[in-house]
Amino acid sequence: MIELDDFILKEYMGFSTDKLFLNYLDNDSFIMKYITSEGLDNYFNRITDNSNEFGINDNKVYIVYKNNIRIGVILIQKLVSYGDKVFMEISYMIAPEYRNRGYASLLLKEFSDYYQDNYKNDLYLQIRNDNIYSRKVALNAGFIKDNSTRYIKKVRDRIR
Can you tell me the distance from the alpha carbon of 123 to that of 114, in angstroms, rounded to the nearest whole number? 12
Higher-scoring residue by pLDDT: 89, 42: 89
* Confidence class for position 156, pLDDT limits 50, 70, 90: low
Can you tell me the distance from the alpha carbon of 29 to that of 81, in angstroms, rounded to the nearest whole number? 33
Can you tell me the distance from the alpha carbon of 52 to that of 39, in angstroms, rounded to the nearest whole number? 24
Which pLDDT score is estimated for 15?
78
pTM for this prediction: 0.82
Superfamily of domain 2-153: Gcn5-related N-acetyltransferase (GNAT) (3.40.630.30)
Tens digits of per-residue pLDDT, 86-100?
778 898 999 999 999
**In the predicted structure, residue 157 carries a pLDDT above the cut 70:** no
Which pLDDT score is estimated for 66?
97
Least reliable range by pLDDT among 33-42, 47-56, 110-119: 47-56
Tens digits of per-residue pLDDT, 132-146?
999 999 999 999 998
Which pLDDT score is estimated for 50?
61
DSSP string, 28-70: -HHHHHHT-SS-HHHHHHHHHT---TTS----EEEEEEETTEE
Residue 146, classed as helix, strand or coil, is coil
Residue 137, classed as helix, strand or coil, is helix
Q: Report the amino acid identity of residue 60.
A: K
Q: Name the residue ranges covered by the structural domains of the chain.
A: 2-153
DSSP 102: S
